[in-house]
Structures are given as C-alpha cells and as structure tokens.
A and B are shown apart, each in its own frame.
Chain A
Amino acid sequence: MTSRIVPKKYPMPEQDPKERIRNFREVPLGQDPETVKLEAARCLQCRPPKGKIVPPCVEGCPVGIDIPGFLALTREGRFEEAIALIKEKNALPAICGRVCPYENQCEGACTLGKKYEPVGIGRVERFLADWERARGFRVPARPPPTGKRVAVVGSGPAGLTAAAELARRGHAVTIFEALHAPGGVLVYGIPEFRLPKEIVFAEVEYVKSLGVELKLDVVVGKTVTLEELRREHDAVFIGTGAGLPNFMRIPGENLNGIYSANEFLTRSNLMKAYLFPEYDTPTKVGRRVATIGAGNVAMDCARTALRLGAEESYIVYRRSRAEMPARKEEIQRAEEEGVKFLLLTLPKRYIGDERGWVREVECVRMELGEPDESGRRRPVEIPGSEFRLQVDTVVVAIGQSPNPLVPATTPGLKTSRWGTILADEEGRTSLEGVWAGGDITTGEATVILAMGAGKRAAASIHEYLSGKPWPSDWKPVNA
C-alpha cells in the first residue's frame, strides 16, 4: 500500500506575514485537490495495534473520526464520501480542520510521525469541509421523531456537538444562546484570521439543518432558569464554557487601556470593532501593546493588536519558552508577524497618567526554580530586577474561569471549588436529567475536547431517553 514514503507534509500556502498583519483574512490559504490527494496518500493505513480496536490516530481523536477511512477515500478523490464519513462523527469539520491541536491528537499519534512528519490530517479535513461547503451541504435524512425534548445551554463547540448528535437520533433539540450570535468562543474568542466567522455560521446552519432549533438572546439563569428548562424538556445539557476572565489583581489593573482577553477579542471578533466606524462598536489600540500570558488566546490577542495598528506587540510571560502553553504553530505565526516575546517576566503593577490611562507596566525578571505541582519549573522573582515597559494598551490573557451564571442560579447543581460543574464520566451532573460538558466541567481547554464531551453526553442522554435509569450512585470525575 505504501510504495514510497513522502517524509514531509505537502506545504499549504499562507498569506505573507507582512501582508497579513494588515488584514483580518485567514492566514493559511488552503490546498488544491491534487495536493490533498497526495497528502492523504501518505497515510500508511495502519491496522489497530494489538489489544486495540482502532488505529493510533483514531484513538488520538477526541470524537473518534475514522481517519484512515476518510484518508483512503480522499486519496481516490472520493471527497463526497470522505466528508460524509467525517460527519458521521463530527458535525463541525471546517472548524476542527482549523483550530484542533492535531499535533497532540491524531497527528501526534500518527505512526508515520514517529520517523517523519505525520500525515497532515487536519489540513485534509479542512479541505474536505471547505470543498463540501462550497458545493452546498447535503442535508441527511431525518430519523423519525422520538417525541423527546432536549434543551442545550450554550451554542459553543460542546453545545453544538451535543445538539447535532441528539438531533440525529430523532430528539427535538433547542439550543439557548445568551449572545446575539451562535458559536460561543468560536465567534467571540477565536479571531477571523484563524477561523472565519462565515465558516462558523455555515457549520451552525448545518447543525440547524439536522432539525436543531436555535434561540438567541436567552440568558439561562436570567431570561429563563435551568429549573424551567428542566420542567419543559426531558433532558438538559449545559455547555456554558469558561467565560469568566481572570485578572492578576495587581495595582492599576483597572486603568483605561487595560482589557481582559475576552473583552479585547469580543470587541474585535463578535462586534467587528476592526471595522469601526462601519460597525458601531469601537476598540482602542495604542502604539505599544503588551499581552500578558502565553497561551493560544494570548497569541490571538497579540496578533489582533498588530492588525489593529499596534507598532509593537509584546507577549509578557513569567515562565520560559519551553513552558508556553500555546500551540507551536500559533507561536511561530506570532513570531513571523513580529510579536516580541518578553519571557521570564512578571508584571507587578501598572502606572497610569493623570487622565487614568495606562502608560507603563512595572515588571520583574524571573528565573526557573524547582518543579511545581504542574510539573513545570516554578518561576521565581529575581530581587532588584524590576524594570518598566512603556505601553498604551494591555491585554490580560491569563485564562478564564467557568461561567458562574447557571450554577449560581440553579439550586442543587453541584460545583467544584474552582466553579466547574461536577459531572461523572458521561457528563451527568448532580441533578437528574441534567448533563454538562466542555470548559464548564473541565476549566479552559480546547474546542475538540469540548466537542468530545458534548458527544459523550449526547450518547448518555440518548440512553437515558431510551429508558436507561439515572444512576443511584453518582460519582463526579472532576471533583
């Protein structure tokens, strides 16, 4: 089957860094069908290893896509069948083909990757999804209705996946979304240049075409309570995500010009402030922008700042390069675009002018000490190493906590001390008939892990709606 090994992925063209920091268009430009067929042909078509039922790549996929299967079809140019095979397991392939951390998942497990570059599974998925979208979705036939009603709270990756899975099994699903647009973090958080909103909305349309009803502008916990949803539905899934921004609680953090990552990104992405005054919502970016943190969200902020006109965009991070939580690909793109990295640097306080605008951030240099509970070496301040960085804009991107709105307004819904909703391995919560999944149960994680959780919960909900009793010995796995 593998006559000749191709050691490297076929390259995907990208917008030139100098060009792309002046626009919000997507950075990678996609591949042509012939290249994609060659990429798919790099797959060794591994059998499941001894004692396993699926090959390593499938095991590495949180939603269990038949990866060798769709690659084999793609190699032969059978794109329609290939995308249909993906969609059996994943309703949002164009999104996953862009934002999944493949290197830790399917591609990380790829046998070819042990010696060479792994098969570019993500880019093939992306191509197939784009190819299908350009031709118009084929809407699958709907199964006979079961007469059961399910409410899904939140239209992010977890909620959309749970909704699609349940609709496919014939249940009547309604999604309740607090914002004016569906998609959750896919729309307010991830920038246009990494995930075009048109693609998110197209995949949401696909989920709706499965029979899912979408209600926008409904804040569960305010407009309706979870208890009311429980009364009107046979099951409820909560996928409200990690929407509460963390701050460092250091002096001066409320000065003008200091944003949470959520605010900075929401203004630009959801509200399209980069098109102000064409769109009504403004944003303000000075010449020198510091983003605090080094995760994917921080990279998104630092790169957004450049596109909004910053001359200098810094990442300020208290640990070293090796500990940066962002994907390598995102760090590399940020560097190509001219983002500067101030590593082993911790902000201590912000200094403002007489009008209340941030002007400087006082930082201290750090060195790495003994490993901490996360296994990473603990950063320790170097005494006397304080220095000041001039800034006009600061974005605090040090993570998000679980959204407290639903737990705070739902008696009996148990949470951990971090505010995550407690759930068992199937996503069942402390309330009968209520499931939860995604960042609201795990804390801030990835799109695909949230989708995996939505999928597992949907399977469990389906069993419950088919007569399986609620467990009497509920044990949360995230306590």
Chain B
Amino acid sequence: MFKILSKKFLCPTVAKFEIEAPLIARKARAGQFVILRIDERGERIPLTLNDWSEERGTITVVALEAGATTKRLLSLREGEYLMDVVGPLGRPAEVERYGTVVCVGGGVGIACIYPEVRAFKAAGNYVISIIGSRTKDLLMFEEEIRGLSDELYVTTDDGSYGQKGFVSDVLRRLIEEGRKLDLVVAVGPVPMMKVVAEVTRPHGIKTIVSLNPIMVDGTGMCGCCRVEVGGKTRFACVDGPEFDAHQVDFDLLAARNRRYLEEERRALERLKEGRA
C-alpha cells in the first residue's frame, strides 16, 4: 500500500498527488513513469513522473480525469492509500549538454516536461520552455518552469492567457527567427507532438517525444503499448517512452489509443449511475 501524502487540484479535472514510494524515489529520473492501481479491481494506470524526492521518499504524479478509472483516482483523498505503485519504468530521458534545448509541454504534458526542464537546465543547457493549454484555467506549473527556464513562452488555444495559439506556433516562430536550436523535447497530446515533429523535421532539429500508448503491465511483457518507430515495432514501456519524433508513426498511435473508447464510455456511465 502506498500512502497519498498530499493531493492538490490544479484545475477541476487535474490533480497532483504526492505519494510515499521511497524505492521509486531513489531511482527516478526525468522521462520515466510509474504504474499505479487504486484497488483490487483497478486498472494499471501509467503516469509520467512529475517530481520525486529521495529525501522525503516520495514521488509526484499529475493525473487528468479522462475516464472512470481516473475519475476514481481523483476522488481519493490525502491520507488514503493506493494499492500498487510500481516503477520507475521506461528509459530515462537522455539528458546531456546539447546547447539550446526547447522543452515543449501541452496540457497535462506540462507536468511531464517539468522534470525535463530541470534536468536539461542542470546539465548546462540554455533552456527555452514553451507551455500551452486550451484555456487559462488548465495551465499548470508555469511558475515552476519559469524559474528553471532561460526563456518561457505560454500559449492558450483561446487566447485567455499568454499568446493565443498553439505551442507549435511559438516553436515555428523561433525557428523562423533563426534561433539555433539543438534539441526539442515535447510531451503532450498526440496531435500536438505530431505537429511539433512536422515543424522541426524540415530543419533537421533533433526532436524527442514521450509517447502515451495504452499499457497493461508496463514491463515489456504484453506488447499492448507497441508503436512504430522508423518502420519497426517497439514497446513504448521498455524501449521508450521517449523516441525520435521524426521516426514515430503518430497516426498509428492515435488509432491504437482509440481501441477502448466504447468500453471507457460504458465504464464512465456505470460510475455516474453510482457503483457500489
């Protein structure tokens, strides 16, 4: 059992959990994820690490309410327990000194890009962060990321805060302005990562994305999370989750992520009707 030490809503559909998990905190690195399970009947939910503290023996994850399972997760309170938390899983981000690194985060992906911003900064890079959300209320970690970045750009789709538009617009502008970018790292919804890849591709800028396929075990055993990278099948849980964006088949990923929409809807309806 893993105790929830604190829980904070970042907006009505997104919450941040600090969880007691000393073994994971000792090993965690930027880009890795954990899998958690609420209770005996729960699904295994993969969540990218947002933060960790070896000293406190804790990890922090940010979860978006997307279906029945995550709705139940968000209903848990401080002091309650998760049945299982396992990790850190996946390969860590390849953090080294590249020069100028652009960290792009969209939606809850901002929570996942935060540790990368920190790691790339600590490795001596000039870090430009671009974060964006649909609207102002959904924006998160702005101050934390601002404090670590050499430059920060904020976008909202509806223009309610920062610059109106998409994160990819800012990235495109930086390239057009002739900024020399050595690496782009992007985490967010599949369409956003796909556009980022298309923006950097013609300029040959190395671009890394963190993929979010459906997973079951998360240790390479089931192949549920298979993705195609450079025409080859890879398991995101053990070969990734980070891959060369210019090699990823995003359309396949998007199609595969729609596999259980019908079941998710059923589960959500059942939850709303008030399950025991």
| A interface, CB within 8 angstroms of B | 178-180, 188, 216-219, 222-224, 243-245, 247, 249, 253-254, 256-257, 259-260, 262-263, 266-267, 271-272, 276-282, 284, 355-356, 403-405
Contact present for A405 and B220 (CB under 8 Å): yes
Instruction: Identify the 8 closest CB pairs spanning chains A and B, nearest first.
Output: A356-B255, A282-B263, A263-B222, A280-B43, A260-B223, A217-B86, A243-B221, A180-B84
- Evaluate contact between B219 and A405: CB separation under 8 angstroms: yes
B contact set with A: CB distance below 8 Å: 23-24, 27, 37, 41-44, 68-69, 83-89, 216-217, 219-224, 226-228, 233, 238, 252, 255-256, 258-260, 263-264, 266-267, 270
Known: A224-B23, A271-B216. A249 touches B233 (CB 8 A): yes
B263's nearest neighbour on chain A, judged by CB, is A282
- Contact: A222 with B27, CB < 8 Å? yes
B41 contacts A282, C-beta separation under 8 Å: no
Evaluate contact between B221 and A217: CB separation under 8 angstroms. no
* Chain A contact surface mostly: loop
Find out whether the CB atom of B41 lies under 8 angstroms from the CB atom of A280: yes
Contacts of B238 in A (CB 8 A): 404-405
| B259 adjacent to A219 (CB under 8 Å) | no
Q: Do A223 and B88 form a contact, CB below 8 Å, given A254-B226, A271-B216?
A: yes
Cβ-defined contact, B68 with A243, below 8 A: no
Are A355 and B220 closer than 8 Å at their CB atoms? no
Contact B27 A263 (CB under 8 A): no
Per a CB cutoff under 8 Å, which of A253, A267, A356 touches B256?
Answer: A356
Task: Find chain A residues with CB under 8 A from B227 CB.
Answer: 254
With A219-B86, A262-B222, A280-B42 given, is the CB distance from A254 to B233 under 8 Å? Answer: yes
Name the contact of B222 in the complex, choosing from A266, A272, A277 (C-beta under 8 A).
A266
Are B267 and A282 touching (Cβ within 8 A)?
A: yes
Closest to B270 in A: A277
Mind listing 17 A-B residue pairs with CB under 8 Å?
Answer: A180-B86, A188-B217, A219-B87, A222-B87, A222-B89, A224-B23, A244-B221, A253-B233, A254-B228, A254-B233, A263-B223, A266-B217, A271-B43, A280-B68, A281-B43, A281-B216, A404-B220
Question: Would you give the shortest CB distance from B90 to chain A, in whole angstroms?
Answer: 9
**Chain A residues in 8 Å Cβ range of B88:** 222-223
B252 touches A263 (CB 8 A): no
A412 to chain B, nearest CB (A): 20
CB nearest neighbor in B for A221: B219
Instruction: Add 10 more A-B contacts to A266-B216, A280-B68 (CB < 8 A).
Output: A222-B89, A223-B24, A245-B221, A254-B228, A263-B216, A263-B223, A281-B43, A284-B260, A356-B258, A404-B238
User: Which A-chain residue is minimally distant from B221 (CB atoms)?
Assistant: A243
For B43, the chain A residues whose CB sits under 8 A away are 271, 280-281
Q: When the two chains form the complex, which single residue of B42, B219, B258, B264 contacts A219, counting CB atoms closer than 8 Å?
A: B219
